[in-house]
A and B are shown apart, each in its own frame.
Chain A
Amino acid sequence: MYQIYLFVALLVVGYGFGQLAERRHLKSLIEREKVANALPAIASRFPATDRAYDQQLVSGSVVIASDYFKTFVSGLINLFGGRVTPFESLIDRARREALLRMKADAQRRGAGYVFNVKYETSRIGAGRVPAMEVLAYGTALVPGTAGRDLPGEAVHASADADAAVPVSG
Chain B
Amino acid sequence: MLLSNLEVLPEQTIVRHLGLVQGSSVRSKHVGRDLGAMFKNLVGGELKGYTELLQDSREEATERLIAQASSLGADAVLNVRYSTSSIASGAAEIFVYGTAVTLAPR
Asked if residues B19 and A37 are in contact (CB atoms below 8 Å), the reply is yes
Please indicate the chain A residues that have their CB under 8 angstroms from the CB of B33 in the complex. 81
B interface with A by C-beta (< 8 Å): 7-8, 17, 19-20, 22, 24-31, 33, 53, 78-79, 81, 83, 85-91, 93, 95, 97-99
Please indicate the chain A residues that have their CB under 8 angstroms from the CB of B27 in the complex. 81-84
27 contacts between A and B (CB under 8 A): A37-B19, A40-B19, A41-B20, A42-B99, A43-B79, A43-B98, A43-B99, A44-B17, A44-B99, A78-B29, A78-B88, A78-B89, A80-B31, A81-B28, A81-B30, A81-B33, A82-B30, A83-B28, A87-B26, A87-B87, A87-B93, A91-B24, A91-B87, A119-B83, A121-B95, A123-B86, A130-B87
Closest to B22 in A: A95
Of A118, A121, A132, which is in contact with the most chain B CB atoms at under 10 Å from its CB? A121
CA–CA, A78 and B86, complex, Å: 13
List residues of A (100-149) whose CB comes within 8 Å of B's CBs. Answer: 117-123, 130, 132
Contact of A84 among B28, B31, B97 (CB under 8 A): B28
CA–CA, A102 and B37, complex, Å: 40
CA–CA, A127 and B30, complex, Å: 19
CA–CA, A122 and B31, complex, Å: 24
Residue A162, interface by CB 8 Å: no
Please indicate the chain B residues that have their CB under 8 angstroms from the CB of A120 in the complex. 83
Chain A residues within 8 Å of chain B by Cβ, number? 33
Number of A-B residue pairs with CB-CB distance less than 8 Å in the complex they form? 99
Residue A153, interface by CB 8 Å: no
Contact of B91 among A46, A78, A95, A119 (CB under 8 A): A78
Contact of A81 among B7, B29, B81 (CB under 8 A): B29
Please indicate the chain B residues that have their CB under 8 angstroms from the CB of A118 in the complex. 81
Given A80-B30, A84-B26: A43 touches B87 (CB 8 Å cut-off): no
CA–CA, A41 and B19, complex, Å: 6
Asked if residues B91 and A84 are in contact (CB atoms below 8 Å), the reply is yes
CB distance from B82 to the nearest CB of A (A): 11
